[in-house]
Amino acid sequence: MTMTGNEAIGEEMEMTAKIGFIGLGTMGKWMALNMLKARFPVRVYDINPAAIQFLTGQGALAAKSPADAAAAVDWLFLSLPDTELVEKVIFGENGIVQGARPGLVLIDLSTINYMLTLEIYRRLKEKGILFADAPVSGMEARAKEAKLTVMFGGDEGLFQTLKPAMDAIGNQIVYMGTVGSGQLTKLINQLLFNISCAGLAEVLPMAVKLGLDPEKVAQVVTTGTGRSFAADFFIPLTLKNRFDEGYPIKSAYKDLISAAEISAHKGIPLPLVNATAVTFQMAIAEGFGGLNKGGLIRVFEKLLGTEFRANKEAK
């Protein structure tokens, strides 16, 4: 069978593009591994030696620093926990800009501040480094299965060039528009998810306080019109008193900070988002920040003196 021109280019890039990957945490290690499985040569870096060892054991090469990673690759992907660390890895001591050659393509898969993403793009452009934001949606299980949703913000031609690598980590690769569009789309998605989590936290303890059975309420909520991804994921864990699976509240709070900044700068009212931020703030103040978003329920359980569990006895 004869390949089309685009297919031939994609095949060639798949075989020749050298990829760097910085940030081998819960999500990053699986994304890097899936790129390896797609036959890309991958050079990895993380502050955790065990994370590097896991990937080198699968065939990756190890970099000594972000600068070292940048010096030896064509495309460099980041998967880091917050804006501050992204800035440090790019611009700090032994950072990417110290080793990057003009024309390096830097793709940020992290979820970071929208407005600072635009500033990072501006600073990198001055140095001749191409930049795109491509945050992902999906938890660890989807990262393992290469079924993430990728929201790409950047040059559309660059998107087409990079798509073979992104196809290795996700099954929904969406071009959103210019730089920043990926982060903005991810923020919209996360805000809707956070609102759902805060709603569950507020309402479910009320159901128990008024005498309803948690398991029966769960059956209705996860099959009826109150159903949501948040309900499907967190209610079964909450019934089991499990708050350790998923992104922690204190880390997820950054999305609400980003929304507040956009609201203030653009004059856009966000009353439900603001109310959700208060619930997150209460959870962090009560010491629940290390729990997953299902742990927001602990705030209202404490207020009402009850628990939404399969076993009603306090644990």
- Would residue 186 show up in a list of annotated catalytic residues for this protein? yes
Note the maximum CA span of the chain: 69
Nearest to 60 by CA among 79, 46, 78, 80: 46
Contact 173, 150 (CB under 8 A): yes
Nearest to 246 by CA among 296, 314, 172, 187: 296
Contact 159, 175 (CB under 8 A): yes
Q: Please, what sign has the CA dihedral across residues 77, 151, 179, 184? A: negative
Contact 291, 244 (CB under 8 A): yes
d(CA 273, CA 276): 5
Contact 165, 75 (CB under 8 A): yes
- Residue labelled with tokens 């110290």: 98
Residue of 18, 125, 147, 186 marked active site: 186
d(CA 29, CA 306): 39
d(CA 12, CA 108): 23
- Report residue 95 as tokens: 């950072």
d(CA 297, CA 238): 9
Residues with Cβ within 8 Å of residue 108, at least 6 apart in sequence: 77, 78, 80, 86, 117, 120, 131, 132, 133, 134, 135
d(CA 156, CA 196): 33
Mind telling me the catalytic residues? 186
